[in-house]
Amino acid sequence: MPRSARSHARRRRVIGGVPLFGALLTLHALLGGCFSSSPEPPEPTATPTATATPTATPTATPTLMPGERRRWGYNPLGPTGERDPPLPTNPFPAHYNIEQLLVGLDRPTQLAAMPDGRLLVTEQSGAVRVVLNGRLLEQPLISVDVHLPELDKLVELGLTGIAVDPRFEQNGFFYLYYTADNPRRTVVARAHDEGNGRASSLEEILSWEVQFPPECCHIAGGMRFAPDGTLFIGVGDHNIADQAQDPDSMPGSVLRINTDGSIPADNPANGAVYAYGLRNPYDIAIDPTSGRIFAGENGFFGQDAVVEIEPGANYGWPGLDLRVPEDQIEPPLIFYHNLAGIAGMEFYTDSALSELQGRLLYCRFHTSAIHEIEFNDDGSVARETIRGDGCTTDIATGPGGFLYYLNYVEGALYRISDQR
């Protein structure tokens, strides 16, 4: 598909990267291991300073790794041979308080805020837990039977997505994304909050049968509502890469549906697929003012990226052998050559943390870090910085307009608040 004129007008490529490879890389068989399947990540570079963007030092030309054959036009054997330069750190303001609210979650994957002050946390094993006034309630809101065999507990299956209906106060609906059995399938379901601490009436509104390869799969599962009330869903290729190039196949795409599972009349194709050619777009963020849609794409041997989702666009996966002509591939906003593991994303618009307004934040699983992307007035990327650490699977705006984030390995929930 041709790129949109709007996309051409505002985009410029940004080469980014992270210099720190923390202990989570040794846990790369966990949820993030399915993000980017590099068995031998590149060596870490030096820790950046917080004062200015470091100048990349020319290095020896790296060996061309499988999967780095110009998916987005990058040639790692080009003039400099440089890989990701270090990013500057930009710590949160001193008046921000970062605190661990609670521990004891079972492999938490996503967050969603309720208008009544409850915060919902999905556990990979199928429970939707409730956090109220900083306390984890003992009783789950709902528990879903998920496909999560014993051997697959440390990989990306189970319950991985949640979204609250923007009309929740009128209809009580929230939405879940998970893998199920009998038949084995990936499901988008709608549940109803009964108002007594329990939810019921779990209704599948969209599903597709799939045989997950034994080494597991990339199912993604991030869901976001757009300003027009439609639901966007990030769907991984389920470890069957060729599905991603089929615009009629839901794996390897971003879907757009109505709240009852029906297809919006203005979708770019006849079905639910809104954009395709993606490997593992784990989460989605939407700017409610401009309507821009962002996703974190997790590639192969690196090739991770922050992309902007355009209607009908093809993001080129699998692009190992340039099966898709380069001029037909939508370029990323930011491209990483090193392993990243881009997980939960949030476009922050609240005023409670005023310094973060209009910024795109995301969790980088493999370094347990919070990254921030700032934009120029024309919508292009101004800079990317590392704001903090500890975030692995999701970050979201919650009660009080503060930011909340999850650490999958610790089973912990954190909060960023302003203490002024």
Cβ distance 241 to 228 under 8 Å?
A: no
Alpha-carbon distances, residue 175 vs 23, 126, 206, 224, 274 (angstroms): 33, 13, 11, 10, 19
pLDDT of residue 164: 98
The residue to which tokens 């903090």 are assigned:
388
Phi, then psi, of 169 in degrees rounded to 5: -65, -25
| CB neighbours of residue 85 within 10 Å | 17
Cβ distance 375 to 364 under 8 Å?
A: no
Looking at the domain assignment, is residue 101 inside a domain? yes
Q: Determine what percent of the chain is predicted with pLDDT higher than 90.
A: 65
**How confident is the prediction along the chain (420 residues), in pLDDT tens digits per residue?**
334 333 433 333 333 333 233 333 333 433 334 444 332 223 333 322 222 223 333 333 344 444 445 577 555 544 445 677 889 999 999 999 999 999 999 999 999 999 999 999 999 999 999 999 999 999 999 999 999 887 655 678 999 999 999 999 999 999 999 999 999 999 999 999 998 899 988 999 999 998 767 667 889 999 999 999 999 999 999 998 888 999 999 999 999 999 999 999 999 988 999 999 999 999 999 999 999 999 999 987 667 899 999 999 999 998 655 567 778 889 999 988 778 899 999 999 999 999 999 999 999 998 899 999 999 999 999 999 999 999 999 999 999 999 999 999 999 999 999 998
Number of domains observed in the structure of the chain: 1
Strands 342-348 and 334-336: unpaired
Could you give the CA distance from residue 263 to residue 291 in angstroms, rounded to a whole number? 19
Could you give the CA distance from residue 176 to residue 158 in angstroms, rounded to a whole number? 11
**302 backbone φψ class: left, alpha, beta (φ>0; ψ -120 to 50):** left
**118 backbone φψ class: left, alpha, beta (φ>0; ψ -120 to 50):** beta
Looking at the domain assignment, is residue 45 inside a domain? yes
Could you give the CA distance from residue 239 to residue 252 in angstroms, rounded to a whole number? 9
The beta strand positions in 210-291, using DSSP E, are 220-225, 231-235, 253-257, 273-276, 281-286
Looking at the domain assignment, is residue 72 inside a domain? no
Average pLDDT, the chain: 82
Looking at the domain assignment, is residue 287 inside a domain? yes
Cβ distance 202 to 186 under 8 Å?
A: no
Alpha helices in 91-178 (DSSP H): 168-171
- Two structure tokens written together for 294: 């962002």
Q: Interior CA angle at 357 toward 296 and 50, to 5°?
A: 75
Dmax (CA) of the chain: 63
Strands 108-113 and 119-123: antiparallel
Whole domain around residue 296: which residue ranges? 10-53+84-418
The residue to which tokens 């979650």 are assigned:
105
Looking at the domain assignment, is residue 71 inside a domain? no
Looking at the domain assignment, is residue 61 inside a domain? no
Looking at the domain assignment, is residue 312 inside a domain? yes
Helix (H) or strand (E) holding 135: strand 135-136
Helix (H) or strand (E) holding 307: strand 304-308
Alpha-carbon distances, residue 176 vs 28, 100, 143, 413 (angstroms): 25, 26, 11, 20
Residue 285: name the closest of 394, 194, 172 by CA.
394
Looking at the domain assignment, is residue 63 inside a domain? no
CATH number of the domain encompassing residue 229? 2.120.10.30
